[in-house]
């Protein structure tokens, strides 16, 4: 769904983005979400390992954390991108 939207909007997104410099394109939000989740997941992995002493359990926790929080961050960014407050 997101990929389809990015492909369909590719031709119009540059024009639309040029008109609204305060807005981010969805692909930027995706890249930001992934990069932030890598940092956050490493943190979760370390803390989980320190608490459990089991790398397998820590990796399982970090994997679930990575996926769920990446999606939450993406939608959080897109909602905040629509809010004009503080710009």
pLDDT tens per residue across span 42-80: 999 999 999 999 999 999 999 999 889 888 888 988 898
Of 40, 47, 66, nearest to 55 (Cα)? 47
Sketch the domain layout of the chain as residue ranges: 27-80
| Per-residue model confidence as pLDDT tens digits over 1-39 | 565 665 666 655 555 545 456 677 888 888 887 888 889
What does DSSP assign to residue 83? Answer: -
pLDDT at 37: 84
pLDDT at 73: 85
pLDDT at 33: 79
Do the Cβ atoms of 58 and 45 come closer than 8 Å? yes
């Amino acid at each position: 769904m997101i990929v389809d939207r990015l492909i369909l909007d590719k031709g119009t997104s540059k024009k639309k983005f040029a008109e609204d410099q305060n807005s981010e394109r969805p692909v930027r939000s995706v890249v930001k979400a992934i990069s932030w989740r890598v940092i956050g997941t490493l943190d979760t992995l370390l803390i989980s390992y320190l608490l459990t002493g089991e790398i397998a359990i820590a990796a399982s926790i970090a994997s679930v954390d990575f996926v769920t929080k990446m999606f939450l961050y993406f939608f959080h960014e897109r909602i905040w991108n629509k809010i004009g407050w503080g710009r």
